[in-house]
Amino acid sequence: MKVLVTGGAGYIGSITAAELVQAGHAVVVFDNLYQGHRAAVHPDAAFIEGDLRDTDAVKRLFQEHKGIDGIMHFASFTLVGESMEQPLMYLRDNVIAGSNLLEQAAAHNVGRFILSSTANLFDDPQTMPIEPDDRIVPGSPYGESKFFLERLLHWFERIYGMRYACLRYFNAAGDTANRGEDHDPETHLIPIVLQVALGQRDKVIIFGDDYPTNDGTCVRDYVHVVDLAQAHMLALENIQDIGSRKYNLGNGNGFSVLEVINAARKVTGHAIPLEVGPRRPGDPAVLIASSTNIREELGWEPRYPDLEQIVSSAWEWHSAHPHGYAK
Ligand code: UDP
């Protein structure tokens, strides 16, 4: 298939684009390089630098790359905390970017659309692990922007027959040998912990240890980025047959912040000093995904469900690239 990957120079997008290339698909990457890195784009993928908020750029993209069969839409502002400070970056920009993309996708009869969605749709879950049909209560403008895109897809299927999958990632983590997580500023737990092991930070600050969990720190469902990439490919290949779907993607196991730090101590051999700080606004105590429906319907089976494996794959990339893509 010919697949357009927006945000294909970013962390999850670049790794998925590389998996697509390796599986024999023709890949077009569109990215504004705001958080993405040119060096992360697989050399066999076509690369276009551009911004989805620019309607003319999106039109040109589809004129120059005819015959796109499917789209994976990773490009987005992605931080819950930032969205609480700058809501319009999310409620306006993420929504405009997605709308421009969908407008051209429908005009060019693209039949398959895979959306990067989020666990932040579930701020008040009724069950744990969280089922994909649990009630949606966006936890932030970020979550709301993804919910709006999910709703747009609902209508684009009704009106234009576009098949879609909404993939709600829980905590994407881990790296591959050639591509890894490199954000500026870095806010995610595992890369921050590894920066301590690399001597780039003195300590990790734990955002609160008074949550109602076993050790008082927040529990998250860490899922390897390569397993996420596989879920995207399975969804792309199957939605025409099975219909549009919403999947929560995680391993179904929760690990606390302290457990992550302990895994990193073991993997790196570094003491990784820590300090307990205040809670981070918007952090729920526990987020664990139920991925039963994608396992049953598409046979998705995470290959790297083990926390130590996930952390050690990240350590391999970060220790080989201590300054990320900048080298
Ligand atoms: N966290 C932390 N210290 C940090 C970064 C993150 O204690 O420096 C915690 C955070 O409160 C959350 C978990 O680690 O409970 C995972 O956070 P991350 O930002 O990686 O992902 P999120 O859960 O926000 O998607």
With the most atoms of ligand 1 within 8 angstroms of its CB, the residue from 84, 279, 280, 307 to mutate is: 280
Residue entry with tokens 């749709």? 121
Average pLDDT over residues 128-145: 96
Residue 136, both tokens? 């949606």
Distance in Å, CA 293 to ligand 1 centroid: 27
Task: Give yes or no: 142 in active site.
Answer: yes
Q: pLDDT at residue 4 above 90?
A: yes
CATH number at residue 265: 3.90.25.10
* 207 token code pair: 């955002």
Are 106 and 244 in a shared domain?
A: yes
Best residue among 201, 256, 257 to mutate for probing ligand 1's pocket (most ligand atoms within 8 Å of CB) is 257
The pLDDT score that the predictor gives to residue 230 is 98
Question: Residue 61 pLDDT more than 70?
Answer: yes
Summarised one tens digit per residue, pLDDT across range 220-239 is 999 999 999 999 999 999 99
Summarize pLDDT for 164-202 with one digit per residue, the tens.
999 999 999 999 999 999 998 999 999 999 999 999 999
Q: Answer yes or no: do 97 and 27 share one domain.
A: yes
Q: How far is the CA of 147 from the centre of ligand 1 (A)?
A: 22
Report the distance separating Cα 118 and Cα 42, nearest Å: 25
Q: Does residue 272 sit in the same domain as residue 140?
A: no
159 and 266 housed in the same domain: no
Q: What is the pTM of this model?
A: 0.97
Task: Report CA(178)–ligand 1 centroid distance (Å).
Answer: 24
Residues 88 and 233 occupy one common structural domain: yes
CATH of the domain at 149: 3.40.50.720
Ligand 1 centre and the CA of 253: distance in Å? 16
Residues with Cβ within 8 Å of 151's Cβ and at least 6 positions away in sequence, in order, are none
DSSP 271-304: ---EEEEPPPTT--SEE-B--HHHHHHH----S-
C-alpha–C-alpha distance, residues 105 and 63, integer Å: 11
Site to probe by mutation for ligand 1, drawn from 188, 259, 276 as the one with most ligand atoms within 8 Å of Cβ, is: 188
Task: Detail the DSSP E strand segments found in the chain.
Answer: 2-6, 26-31, 46-49, 70-73, 112-118, 163-169, 171-173, 204-207, 219-220, 222-224, 245-249, 255-256, 274-277, 286-287
Residues 18 and 68 in one domain: yes
120 and 10: one domain?
A: yes
Greatest C-alpha distance within the chain: 56
pLDDT tens figures, 200-223: 999 999 999 999 999 999 999 999
Q: Report the distance separating Cα 290 and Cα 283, nearest Å.
A: 19
Residue 177's contacts (CB-CB under 8 Å, 6 or more residues apart) are: 316, 317, 320
Q: In the block, which residue shows the tokens 């989805």?
A: 52
Q: Which two tokens stand for residue 219?
A: 């529990």
Ligand 1 atom nearest the C-alpha of 280 is 11
Contact by Cβ (8 Å): 61, 29: no
* Cβ-contact 94, 100 below 8 angstroms: no
Q: Are residues 60 and 183 in the same domain?
A: no
Contact 276, 208 (CB under 8 A): yes
The alpha carbon of 117 and the centre of ligand 1 are apart by a number of angstroms equal to 18
Same domain, 53 and 94: yes
88 and 184 in a single domain? The answer is no
Position 327 confidence tier, pLDDT thresholds 50, 70, 90: low
pLDDT score, position 283: 85
**Residues with Cβ within 6 A of ligand 1?**
80, 171, 187-189, 192, 204-207, 218, 220, 257, 280, 283
Cis peptide before 284 (omega within 30 of 0): no
Nearest atom, ligand 1, residue 207 CA: 7
Among candidate residues 142, 164, 211, 247, the one labeled active-site is: 142
- Residue 246: pLDDT band with limits 50, 70, 90: very high
- Print the domain residue range for 105: 2-172+222-248
**CA 225 to the chain's CA centroid:** 8
- Given 248, 263, 295, the domain boundary residue is 248
For the chain, what's the residue count? 327
- Tell which atom from ligand 1 comes closest to the C-alpha of 192: 8
Q: Assess whether 179 and 159 both reside in one domain.
A: no
Q: Number of structural domains, the chain?
A: 2
- Do 163 and 292 lie in one domain? The reply is no
Residues 6+ apart with CB under 8 A from 158: none
